[in-house]
Structure 1
Amino acid sequence: MGDTKHVQGERSLLRLDERFPLSAHQRDIWTVCRSGEESAQFTIAGHQRLHGPVDIDVLAGSLDRVTRRHDALLTRFGEADGVPYQWVGHEPLPVEVLDLSRAPDPAAACRRAVDAALMVPLRLRTDRLFHPMLLRQDAETVHIVLRAHHIVADGYALDLFLTRVLTDYESHIGDGSCPGAPDEPSAPDESSALGAPSAPGEPCPSYRSFVDEDLAYRGSPEHQADQDFFRERLNGAVPALFARRPARPGGDRRVSVTLEPEEVAAIRATGTSVFSYVAAALGTYLARLHGTDSAMLGVAFLNRRGPRHAATVGHFATTLPLLVPVGPADTLDSMAGRVAADVRAYRHHERLALGDMPRPAASGDGRRQLFDTTVSYLNLPELPDIGGLVQERTGHQRRHDQDALAILVVHHRNTDLLRIELDCAPDVFDDGLPPARVAEHLHTLIRHGLAVPAGPRPASRSWTPPGGRTRSSPRTGRPYRYPKA
């Protein structure tokens, strides 16, 4: 391991093939993957649709150049004596270009290809963990598809990467350059912006720098203080988890619901964020399903502290347990205010990895999970203006196998366009409680909360789901009736 070729980045002394440790957040993923590398649960995808005069050769060159500027996307992983390590590899994978314009339905073929990108497991020890691809739909429509393992990038990182690719493309589209020449809520914060896009050819911050910071943090008083913070916050909490069983095959388990602009405006008029309001509604819904007076949510945080982290491609994101009490007199308005205050407090302690979190006693089935329902906030950025191109960007991530429900709140920045996506475990959300009905219940709860934001009717009883009926509680198995207004 003596290759002296350097990665194009700020750490000129980082040699290719030099081994270094994992961050605590990467370690958590590694631990899960050791026993389940055949699962695609940690595959994430970024997707951008471009319509207009696209030069696909120049675009492929931009993808290659920008990939080479980010050490995280070239990273490989191994293990020695039971201890994982990582190193920066030599070359990125070639950009795959697929021409689907001759398919019977090119648009449908492209949609299938984008969906398929999320279904492919990436094995840590043997596979390359970042795959860029271009799909030609027709003469004027091209799709950029990024497939990555979560251990090398989070959703924010893929957004940042796509923005840099388009910036590079715009700089090369008219200058005659050789096409292939090398050169977070999201954290639930609706005002956060992507880091500086980095001018074409400028070095990008190295993810290795964050790993060094994380190693120093783990032995510091700040790490102990963060553990103490969560130990106090979670003291006495007993997470309510869904009962799990072998899944039945078939069935659509991913659904979404769109909030109307007037509903988004009404939420903002309460003085709280959309994320906090949705999290409060979700907590209320779960408490009613489980028959408890609180719900534990896993809330995604960016964990990017300052402009350097904001400009770095890599895996920073963390998911932290947030207890949402549901009192008999609470309204969604009051609960959303508490969620927002808790999220602000958590941001001072978001460096703590989930694997270092104080754990509850084991449940009846032996699980020591803090939560099995997660909620994330994806604030899609304003896209760079490239003359003549109509752009559309989406992000894709999967529910982790141990979770029963993963909710992604997708917001297009500076608009009132908001979509709530639900990824449901088929063994929990079956014909008795199908995902479409869960989405409908959650939307109904939000609408009813907005109708009486500060009135006497409590959030826990402010809705009547369509088709209300009795079913077994997903936690205890005892008969349980859907809540009535």
Structure 2
Amino acid sequence: MSSCFALSSAQQGLWYAQHLDPSNPIFNTAHYADIQSPLDVSLFTQAVNRVLEQADVLRLRLCIQDDMAQQCFDGPQPVLEVHTACSTAEEALAHMRADQQQALDLRYDSAARFILFVLNTHHFIFYMRVHHLAADGYAMNLLETRILQHYLALTEDKPCPAPLSSIHDVLADDQRYLHSPKYQKDRNFWLEQLQPDLDVASLASTTALSAPTFLAHHQPVSTQWSQKLLQFCATHQYPWPDVLTLLSAVYIARHTGQYDSVFGVPYMGRMGNQSALAIATVMNVAPLPLQIDEQLSVPDFLHQGMGALMHTRRHGRYRSEQLRRDLGLLGEMRRLHGPLINILPFDTPYDQTPLHATSHVLCAGPVEDLNITFRAGTQAQG
């Protein structure tokens, strides 16, 4: 008989949202890499399966009794599927979209699927789909990074990376936090900072349940603009991800007319604990309250805003779902924050390999409002 474990605080809100909307596939996170260079399929398969064996959360199975969910890790072990029937990227993409858009019942369905589409000897597509209960964006990146490290270890006789941490380490760390003085300190901070009648910036006047799909627009940032940003940050000794976050908040405020508002920023919650090397869902969306004064100079505004970012990160582990309950924001789909501003200041996993590949996100999970995401280019130069 397999042991069952309580959901982590990060998983509980996701499960409840899925429970309310069980036919919605938006909880399937899905990425793919378009690889246009030679690939040793046998060694790549070995590399993928090595990592999947270490990621015990991918065997997640839900046990539901009296509308309460627990999790076991005795589901089928996922392995890489190699598909050779597709001859074009368009065919492979249609196959991936069809898979991602199937809602999963984790009492019976596997939480993860991995496919390598072999289009020809120099063109491959690697697809990863994992339910959000098992992996967040950081975990998806970690999975792919570890797979490529193992592939290089096999093809170039390099040492294998350290093994991944277990989901059980993450669950234990979550319990330690929930019963620590830090948890109460974080809660008290947010209850002092935010009020139940808080005003949040949004480009929409109403709220709605997350749709099964989302609209996305990709816009490259010019090299000239990136260089100006980096030069400004170097001159004033500002971290460029923080500057982008704060300038994005001003952009939203100018469009909404709400200059005293709350924005959303990701809090990874992994530094300094076992989850840094674990496949799991840990990330929180923390509120960032800002009072934007257009009369301030840019350096003065950034100095003020970075203080707010520092406080948000210091207390960002306290779950936004719990904070909504604390503030009584559950009724009428009331928001805790407006648009999410997400900065990804790291290279894609393929930038550190000889493989020529472009990474794509099919689905990153539910979208409550507008998400603005900046992804760094090669070597994180903007």
Normalising by structure 1, we get a TM-score of 0.69
The answer on 1:259 being equivalent to 2:225 is: no
Among 192, 198, 213, the alignment partner of 1:237 is 198
What secondary structure is seen at the aligned counterpart in 2 of 1:213?
helix
Question: What's the counterpart of residue 36 of structure 1?
Answer: 21
Paired residue type of 2:153: S
Question: What's the counterpart of residue 162 of structure 1?
Answer: 144
State the distance in 1 between where 2:306 and 2:160 align: 35
List alignment gaps of at least 5 residues for structure 1: 2-16, 176-196, 418-485
Q: What do residues 446-474 of structure 1 show as CA deviations (whole Å, max 9, x unaligned)? A: xxxxxxxxxxxxxxxxxxxxxxxxxxxxx
What secondary structure is seen at the aligned counterpart in 1 of 2:332?
coil
Q: CA deviation at 1:361?
A: 5.6
Residues 171 and 123 of structure 1: is their aligned pair in 2 closer, same or farther, counting only changes over 3 Å?
A: same
Structure 2 contact 173–273 (Cα < 8 Å) conserved: no
State the distance in 2 between where 1:67 and 1:265 align: 39
The answer on 1:341 being equivalent to 2:341 is: no
Within-5 A mapping of 1:7-26: 17-26=2-11
Question: What's the counterpart of residue 56 of structure 2?
Answer: 71
Residues 338 and 69 of structure 1: is their aligned pair in 2 closer, same or farther, counting only changes over 3 Å?
A: same
Q: CA deviation at 1:266?
A: 1.6
Structure number with larger C-alpha Rg? 1
Residues 33 and 382 of structure 1: is their aligned pair in 2 closer, same or farther, counting only changes over 3 Å?
A: closer
State the distance in 2 between where 1:216 and 1:205 align: 17
State the distance in 1 between where 2:218 and 2:4 align: 42
Residues 169 and 293 of structure 1: is their aligned pair in 2 closer, same or farther, counting only changes over 3 Å?
A: closer
Among 62, 65, 90, the alignment partner of 1:80 is 65
State the distance in 2 between where 1:408 and 1:120 align: 26
Q: CA deviation at 1:349?
A: 1.9
Structure 1 contact 279–339 (Cα < 8 Å) conserved: no
For CA contacts below 8 A with separation 6 or more, give which structure has more relative contact order. 2
State the distance in 1 between where 2:259 and 2:67 align: 42
State the distance in 2 between where 1:198 and 1:123 align: 38
Normalising by structure 2, we get a TM-score of 0.86
Among 387, 392, 416, the alignment partner of 2:381 is 416
Structure 1 contact 25–354 (Cα < 8 Å) conserved: no
Q: What do residues 319-368 of structure 1 show as CA deviations (whole Å, max 9, x unaligned)? A: 111122221314555444433332233332222111221554659x8233
Identity of aligned residues (%): 20
Residues 351 and 245 of structure 1: is their aligned pair in 2 closer, same or farther, counting only changes over 3 Å?
A: closer
Within-5 A mapping of 1:247-286: 253-271=215-233, 272-286=238-252
The answer on 1:59 being equivalent to 2:44 is: yes
Within-5 A mapping of 1:319-334: 319-331=285-297, 333-334=299-300
Aligned-residue CA RMSD in angstroms? 3.0
State the distance in 2 between where 1:354 and 1:79 align: 24
Structure 1 contact 297–322 (Cα < 8 Å) conserved: yes
Q: CA deviation at 1:79?
A: 1.8
What secondary structure is seen at the aligned counterpart in 2 of 1:41?
helix
Question: What's the counterpart of residue 211 of structure 1?
Answer: 171
State the distance in 1 between where 2:183 and 2:35 align: 44
State the distance in 1 between where 2:99 and 2:47 align: 21
Q: What do residues 201-260 of structure 1 show as CA deviations (whole Å, max 9, x unaligned)? A: x5421121111121122122211100111122224632245323789x9x9931122211
Paired residue type of 1:237: L
Structure 2 contact 347–380 (Cα < 8 Å) conserved: no
Paired residue type of 2:347: L
Give the structure with the larger helix fraction. Answer: 2
Within-5 A mapping of 1:59-458: 59-99=44-84, 102=87, 106-116=88-98, 118-173=100-155, 199=160, 203-235=163-195, 237-241=198-202, 242-244=204-206, 253-271=215-233, 272-306=238-272, 308-331=274-297, 333-357=299-323, 359-360=326-327, 366-378=332-344, 379-381=346-348, 383=350, 386=353, 389-398=355-364, 400-401=366-367, 403-412=368-377, 414-417=379-382
Paired residue type of 1:82: D
Q: CA deviation at 1:116?
A: 4.8
Of stretches 37-46 and 65-74 in structure 1, the one that deviates more from structure 2 is 37-46
Residues 259 and 308 of structure 1: is their aligned pair in 2 closer, same or farther, counting only changes over 3 Å?
A: same
Structure 2 contact 139–278 (Cα < 8 Å) conserved: yes
What secondary structure is seen at the aligned counterpart in 2 of 1:380?
coil
Q: CA deviation at 1:413?
A: 5.0
Paired residue type of 2:371: A
State the distance in 1 between where 2:190 and 2:30 align: 31
List alignment gaps of at least 5 residues for structure 2: none
State the distance in 2 between where 1:198 and 1:307 align: 24
What secondary structure is seen at the aligned counterpart in 2 of 1:224?
helix
Residues 281 and 204 of structure 1: is their aligned pair in 2 closer, same or farther, counting only changes over 3 Å?
A: closer
Paired residue type of 2:255: L
State the distance in 2 between where 1:380 and 1:115 align: 25
